[in-house]
Amino acid sequence: MGRLIEELAGAWLAQQESRLRERCGRDRLRAPGAGPDHELVFTDRVIATLVILRFQLPHAAVALFYKVDRSTITRAVHEIRPLLAARGFAVPGRPELRLRTLADVFA
């Protein structure tokens, strides 16, 4: 789990900075890390997304567990899910091979 979080963290930070830059139309004036904290830390966002994808729990149920609003969980899933898809799925026994598309699976 730790390696997965390490792999996704850089891409998530870049995604967040890009989103903020697009919204403001310029680079940030604050230092990285300044400003309001996220209600869910990155690790919790990844875990909540994996739980929802694996067990198909309603977002509201996971939100109760983390004591946040359902929309916070929904936003986390929308942020993390594309990162997981871009990462692909490892093939057991062949860590260098990653399946990213359905065509990769059939090949």
Task: Give the pairing type, strands 89-91 and 94-99.
Answer: antiparallel
Structural domain of 47: 2-106
Q: Would you call 82 helix, strand, or coil by DSSP? A: helix
What gap in Å lies between CA 98 and CA 102, rounded to an integer?
11
Q: What is the pLDDT along the chain (107 residues), one digit of tens a residue?
A: 788 888 888 888 888 878 777 877 777 676 766 666 668 898 999 999 989 988 999 999 999 999 999 999 999 999 998 888 888 766 667 666 666 666 766 66
Q: CA distances (Å), 96 to each of 11, 88, 89, 91, 99, in order?
A: 19, 11, 11, 8, 10
Output the pLDDT for position 90. Answer: 62
Output the pLDDT for position 33. Answer: 64
For the entire predicted model, the pTM comes to 0.69
Terminal-residue alpha carbon distance, the chain: 28
Residue with tokens 């875990």: 47
Count: domains in the chain = 1
